[in-house]
Amino acid sequence: MNKVCYSPPHNFGLDLVYQDNSILLINKPAGLLSVPGRGADKQDCLSGRVQEEFPDALIVHRLDMATSGLIVFARGTEIQRRLSQSFQDRKVEKRYVAVVKGKPGTDMGEVNLPIIADWPNRPKQKIDTTIGKYSLTRYRLLNYDMEVDTSRIELEPITGRTHQLRIHMAAIGHPILGDKLYGGAVSESAERLLLHAHSLKFMHPLNEIAMSWICGSAF
């Protein structure tokens, strides 16, 4: 098992993107767990910080510790149930921005490779075409920097497997910069994982009004 040293960023207060009586949208900083991990040293997390200010807030979905960006919290169990169902039914549109090594062969494309946990090397996942779970990612090239041979791309996870975007980009030869698990030679090319959840779209769980948010990245 790979032991990860957890050093969460200093708590400067919540980066609150949106709030009402039903939902909260938070911009999670990179390096912070979404929920508590195992051990006393991994209790500082986004859900804990949010609940200090909003005691009724409940987590609906998660981002990897190394990933920054938008997370929605439900205020109360009924809203959590409704939002969780929307995620389960794939009625929530999520888009990420990443910086990857190289340039994809096409400006738009899909990665359809099944994923399963790599148990001897947890928390890593791996591609397994025999028993892996169906996993689909769509990508779109935003720009290419020829000088350093990197691309800024938009990623849309159609499924929501653990580490899906990271392992899919690595699998097609374009690992995300700063990825300590799957980046190989580019793992030290950035101080942090250059992956940011920048857009969320879904129907409001109470009034069913279509809502969308965009939160720019810091890279």
Query: Which segments of the chain does DSSP mark as H helices, in order?
Result: 46-53, 77-88, 164-171
Catalytic residue among 41, 44, 64, 149: 64
Q: How far apart are CA 168 and CA 185, in angstroms?
A: 16
SS3 54: coil
Region class of 90: left (phi > 0), else alpha (psi between -120 and 50), else beta: left
> Known catalytic residue: 64?
yes
Strands 68-75 and 195-203 turn out to be parallel
Whether a cis peptide bond, with omega within 30° of 0, leads into 8 is no
Residues tagged active-site: 64
